Structure 1
Amino acid sequence: MTSLLATLSAGVVFGVALAAPPGPMNAIIAEESVVRGWLAGFKAGLGAMSADAIFFVLAALGVVAFVDRFPLVRAAMIGVGGLLMLYFAYGAAADVRSSFRPGEGPTDESDPRVGTGFRKAFVLALTNPYQILFWLTIGVGLLQSGTVDILAQTPYVGNTLAGLLVVETGSPALVAGFFGGIVLWITGFPAALVGAERRVEAFAPLVAGLSAVVLAGFGVVFLAESVAVLA
């Protein structure tokens, strides 16, 4: 029982470590949260996680490896992902002005676009080659016997955390904990943002603006990489 709980806990840490760093998914979650409320932000996170679940199944079946074998397919996906990010960046920039609201903060029920965050994050995640690459390598290996350096996989700071948390793979508890960690993040992150928005009047437009910058930046990088692959 102790070993099972330890594996489950390690999976939770893994999920949070991968979900928390800044990136296009968190930019969408942040924008949806401060503009339309906690439920919208949670649904956006759920969209990204749903794509991860699909990739997990496809990677386990060997289907996702198809993308890795065909550079043109990979380049097309990167290009589509870049265009989508630029499009969503434009939407986030448009939300900057509308997010200036006197008085009450965002409400989950008042905005008919509460469900759009799920579709945005889901489609963007499906065209994200880096998520596919993760499931081709580390992700699918979670069910295979071996070990994984949990914190070393954390984006941006993995090198400094290497060796701190190494666990055995091949346990369903590790996968369950991994997705549990993602759920923990997509629940708590929007709640923290909404709480801050209710206290600071300019917080919502600031977050919407930063989300637009992050999405635009990743969009340009993706398009440049797509062109480089095709060249």
Structure 2
Amino acid sequence: MAVLEAATTVLAGAVFGLAIAAPPGPMNAIIAEESVLRGWTAGFWAGLGALIADACFFVLAVVGAVAVVERFPIVRGLAFAIGGALMLYFAYTAARDATASTDEVTPEGSRGFRKAFVLALTNPYQIVFWLTVGVGLLEPGRIDVLAALPSVGEALSGVLVVSTGSPTLLVGFFAGIVVWIVGFPATLVAAERRATSVGPTVAYASAIVLAVFGLIFLGEATSVLGGSFPLV
């Protein structure tokens, strides 16, 4: 029974990690751009940069350092400002690279890693995740997933129990993210090989996503910092 519970906890963590990693956003925009312009390795390295940033936030959440962002709005505002400016710059480079020929695009894999890592570290949304949901994953407890279902919940109680605060859940969570950063670039590279127009299209789409999020972040920075330093 203990083995079954551990297996279901790892699986639940993996599904949760995939659900967190898959939605469109700045990180996936960078992974997509790197994948179609520089190949699977570059896309994987970009995803690894975001993953390492999450691991850093995990450590900071364990020691309580991430909560500093909640206590001091100016820190959150500066993070939004830096992150927004970086996203706009990366949007420009994505659009520029989309118009370049394959020979003009550098294949350097570490470039995407640096971009994703720095951008993730200045992404307040990831910080908020570890302040809320992430803290819940760290706190010891148990969730009876199927017990909450209407009508059949009582009959299925105890069938799928997930232990929070356990290493198995966290292993599954990060394993789910690894599955995404391996599979997502591979899918894009395969699509790009079938149709050469996929590369520039994805790069332009990535630039648009980054630009939109950059403007949103700068707007949030103005709001937060404006509240911290009200005009007299």
In the TM superposition, what are the counterparts of 1:57-136 in structure 2 within 5 Å?
Answer: 57-98=59-100, 111-136=106-131
Between Structure 1 and Structure 2, whose CA radius of gyration is higher? 2
Query: For the residues of structure 2 that align with 1:71 and 1:147, how far apart are their CA atoms?
Result: 33
Task: Give 1:107's aligned residue.
Answer: none
In the TM superposition, what are the counterparts of 1:147-226 in structure 2 within 5 Å?
Answer: 147=142, 167-226=162-221
Provide TM-score, normalisation by structure 2. Answer: 0.86
Q: The residue matched to 1:22 in structure 2 has which SS?
A: coil
Task: Give 1:141's aligned residue.
Answer: 136
Unmatched segments (≥5 aa) in structure 1: 102-109, 151-164
Sequence identity percentage:
64
| Matched positions, count | 209
Q: The residue matched to 2:162 in structure 1 has which SS?
A: strand
Q: The residue matched to 1:167 in structure 2 has which SS?
A: strand
Task: Give 1:17's aligned residue.
Answer: 19
Residues 25-53 of structure 1: per-residue CA shift (max 9 Å, x gap): 00000000000000000000000000000
Q: The residue matched to 2:204 in structure 1 has which SS?
A: helix
Unmatched segments (≥5 aa) in structure 2: 146-159, 227-232
The answer to whether the Cα contact below 8 Å between 1:99 and 1:204 also exists between their aligned partners in 2 is no
2:100 partner letter:
S
Provide TM-score, normalisation by structure 1. Answer: 0.86
The answer to whether the Cα contact below 8 Å between 1:100 and 1:204 also exists between their aligned partners in 2 is no
The answer to whether the Cα contact below 8 Å between 1:147 and 1:169 also exists between their aligned partners in 2 is yes
Give the root-mean-square deviation of aligned CA atoms.
Answer: 1.8
Q: The residue matched to 1:191 in structure 2 has which SS?
A: helix
Residues 122-154 of structure 1: per-residue CA shift (max 9 Å, x gap): 00000001101111111122121235699xxxx
User: CA separation of 1:200/1:134 partners in 2, compared to 1, >3 Å: closer, same or farther?
Assistant: same
Query: For the residues of structure 1 that align with 2:6 and 2:31, how far apart are their CA atoms?
Result: 31
Query: For the residues of structure 2 that align with 1:169 and 1:29, how far apart are their CA atoms?
Result: 30
